[in-house]
Structure 1
Amino acid sequence: MLRIFFVNFIFIISCFATDIDSFEDEYIAQDSFDPLSGYNRVMTEFNHIFYQNVLIPTFKGYDYMMPNPAQDAISNFFDNLLFPIRLVNNVLQLKFVNASEESLRFIANTIVGFGGISDVATNVYGLKKHDEDLGQTLGYWGVGGGFPIVLPFLGQTNLRDLIGMSGDFFINPMSYTNEIFTDNANRYFHLNLIAKSWRVINDGSKDPELYNKLTNGTIDLYAFLKDGYEQRRNAQIQE
């Protein structure tokens, strides 16, 4: 299913490769390679409407119902569960000390932290988390970001990180919670989608207005998000 999605997605965005918006933005470098600019702008506006009318109200409702300690515990649990992604990518970048520290964090949080709901690795043992993903690993070895791409619902990314996202999918333990339940109507329910959505909502509920704070007063939303994303990713790669 994932492969079919990406094949269809690449076909769709290729249909939008011709820029349908001739607006020249002062924040975009003239040599910026952005063949999907038209599609990206349309998808940015779609995501903006979705965030404003669906995602942010969901964050606020969840934040109202869920106590802060519970939000932190859930965030810690998912963070601990995603340990394999950090471990593998630290190893691929030859950051063996960081990989060892990640392993110690996982052991401490899993055993002493009651399955990861308490971050004792940070709070008690002073072990640092080393966030790495496959997009950062590719960048570490000199792979350029490629052209920008805006994904439905997920937002801004680029070609390198989209490829990295696909690779991290197979490392992510949550991708293998794909237990399927069938009711009398033969409808299918995927646990991994629920788990990943829950994580997004739980993390977003910690600051429901973050998106509005970042984008408030922006003249060109797409250019702002694209530039901000690239700067953040470049900084993460250089760490």
Structure 2
Amino acid sequence: MGVFASPGNAGKGSFGFRLGDVQPHAFKSIDFANTKGLKPDYVADALSLKSPLSRKNLRLRLKFRGRLYAQTDEVSEENLEEDDGFEEEFEEEFEEEFSDEETAEVYDPLEGYNRTMHGFNDWFYINVGFPVARGYRWVVPEGGRLAIKRFFHNILFPVRFVNNIFQFKILNVGEETLRFSVNTTVGLLGFFDPAKSWFGLESHDEDFGQTLGHYGVGGGVPIVLPFLGHTNLRDTISLYPDYQLDPLHGGSYPNQALNQGTTIYSPDTYQELGVTIFEYVNEYSFRVEEYEAFRKDAIDFYLFMRDGTEQARNQEIKE
């Protein structure tokens, strides 16, 4: 899916892309930044998101009287307005250097709601999720956390298997089947990954959102979901079919309660919730520094996460 609905899934969301995913032109931008005396991170930020607004903010924030600050961000709006013509010169050089980079305006009719929910999620990650994850990380060594992550990823084999079939990626279907067989048996239910380390079998993460994208369904409007993070309309709708294929969750809530005429507040529901929280905390333990790096370096954190998530998803669909 587009959201971080299940950390072991192919689905992505607020933590669904890494610095390497959203900065494909970082090396090129670093060279350009060094010649202009500006921070490479900001150039990579604007380029990677392929957003005209991000580029505009980059120029506004960093230019000042014929130079770009390399060591400080303390540039006031008043000072920026006193520019002596460097803006035009810089824009020409910037566009000439990166004229091959695509730009596109993003239709975001829910931006007001999205920014509010983005702020809530950010508060939750910083004040609740990450402190818990840090404590968990202090107790559970990295090797154990990696094994748990592999276990959850292995369990989601049906999601990858079915969506690779839907996309007629037959070789991927075969490789996924072999991986699951080897890791479930020799790898002790997936806690280890001998399929890759011994036989070089790679995972092919596909979800229903990618399947729809494969057949030309666009992402639609950006959406930020509570706790789950940044996604879009297509990937939000895709949550349900992938959820039904998830052996840990599919069919247990709310369908099972409705079919059996029982309350959703059952022991099974709480057990499922506990497993989900544990899965998230384990995943958070790997993403704390990564998220904080995003948060620190992005000029507009909401735009960075929105556009970066969309770009990463589009790249996954193309692969």
Following TM superposition, by how much is the alpha carbon of 1:143 offset from its aligned partner in structure 2, in angstroms?
A: 0.2
Give the corresponding residue for 1:213. Answer: 293
Partner of 1:153: 227
2:266 equivalent to 1:188: yes
Q: 1:45 aligns with which of 108, 119, 123?
A: 119
**Aligned partner letter, 2:300:** D
Instruction: Report the TM-score when normalising by structure 1.
Output: 0.82
Q: Within 2, Cα distance between the matches of 1:175 and 1:94?
A: 26
Instruction: For 1:162, give the aligned amino acid.
Output: T
Partner of 1:69: 143
Gaps of 5+ in 1: 1-24, 181-185
Q: Which deviations, in whole Å up to 9, do the C-alpha atoms of 1:97-120 show, x marking residues without a partner?
A: 101100000000011111111111
1:223 correspondence with 2:316: no
- Cα gap change, 1:31 to 1:218, in 2 (>3 Å): closer
Is contact 2:244–2:251 with CA below 8 Å preserved after alignment? no
* Length, aligned pairs only: 210
Give, in angstroms, the shift of residue 210 of structure 1: 1.5
Structure 2 regions of 5+ residues with no counterpart?
1-51, 56-102, 257-263
Cross-structure match for 1:140: 214
Determine the structure 2 residue equivalent to 1:198.
278
**Partner AA of 2:54 in structure 1:** Y
Shift of 1:58: 1.2
Please provide the CA RMSD for this pair.
2.1
TM alignment of 1:110-125, pairs within 5 A = 110-125=184-199
Pick aligned residue for 2:170 from 69, 72, 96: 96
8 Å CA contact 1:85–1:133 kept in 2: the answer is yes
- Indicate the residue corresponding to 2:314 in structure 1: 234
User: Whose Rg is larger?
Assistant: 2
Aligned-pair CA distance for 1:178: 4.0
Letter matched to residue 132 of structure 1? E
Q: Distance in 1 between matches of 2:297 and 2:249?
A: 38
SS in 2 for 1:162: helix
Report the TM-score, using the length of structure 2 for normalisation.
0.62
Q: Any idea what SS the aligned residue of 1:113 has?
A: coil
Q: Which residue of the partner structure matches residue 79 of structure 1?
A: 153
Q: Does 1:26 align with 2:53?
A: yes
